[in-house]
Amino acid sequence: MTYGSYLGLEKILEAQHPLSEPEHHDEMLFIIQHQTTELWLKLALHELDSARRLLAEDQLRAALKRVARIKHIQEVMTQQWSVLATLTPSEYLQFRGSLASASGFQSVQYRAVEFALGNKNARMLAVFDSEPENHRMLEAELHRPSLYDEFLRHLARHGWEVPEDILTRDVTTAHVHDDRLVDLFETVYRDEQAHWSVYEACEELVDLEDNFQFWRFRHLRTVTRTIGRKTGTGGSSGVDFLKRALDLTFFPELYTVRTRLG
């Protein structure tokens, strides 16, 4: 066993294949940036899988350890955009055509992370109709309770009055804001010392969502800086599509409760 064989470096380091002719210097940056992002997404999914299993077993503190690691992963992914932002519009245009219809919109792992956090959208499965393995993976994630679902179920098992229709909802759809949950979390936030473990978990989830929004915003700014308002390579609306994503939220009641306090 060697360092390289343990890590599979031969495969990893030979997985960069620029397609521009003649090969453009900056295409290597573009490829490695997105490959490393996919590796971090794989780890984030690994941690989200574990966090949900631990919540289902009522191991809240262990689940929060997983969430803490995901937050650090998110920070690294956000910082990575600064590397890609060194790619100027004129440099990108010299190899953009090599991408053809390939787009980050087609990242199955990114979709799986969004599903795991609660942004379910069954229509996204159609993007992967020609990729059976990816389609099966994302479909399984669609039917699995999100991190928020498992957290609410954990609360219910520990005496919190989570409405039954929320606990038994169709998990293939995105969670919709419910004032009854705001009432629950208001109780937590008005006396955090008495409900410290739940309070801490709520704030960890807020951190997680904030980090995701920072990543989305940095993505938006990098795309704007590089291609302006052009249509995305996969046919998405580009900047406008990314702007709409900033309005999405995973844990809406944890933000609404802040308006009520004080």
Per the annotation, where are the binding residues? 30-34, 92, 96, 219, 233
CB 114, CB 216: distance < 8 Å:
no
Q: Cβ-count burial of 171 within 10 angstroms (0-12 exposed, 13-18 middle, 19+ buried)?
A: middle
Distance CA(34)–CA(45), nearest Å, equals 16
The residue to which tokens 């990575």 are assigned: 80
> Whole-angstrom Cα distance, residue 169 to residue 174?
10
Print burial letters for 17-40: b (CB count within 10 Å at least 16), e (below 16).
ebebeeebebbebbbeeeeebeeb
* Six-digit token string for 8: 């599979």
Residue 126 burial by Cβ neighbours in a 10 Å radius (0-12, 13-18, 19+): exposed
Q: Which residues line the annotated binding site for heme?
A: 219
Using CA atoms, how far apart are residues 168 and 230, in angstroms rounded to an integer? 43
Q: How many residues comprise the chain?
A: 262
Extract the annotated binding site for substrate.
30-34, 92, 96, 233
Our measurement of the distance from residue 254's CA atom to the centroid of its chain's CA atoms, rounded to an integer in Å, reads: 18
Closest CA to 12 of 31, 78, 106: 31
User: How far apart are alpha carbons 55 and 49 in whole angstroms?
Assistant: 10
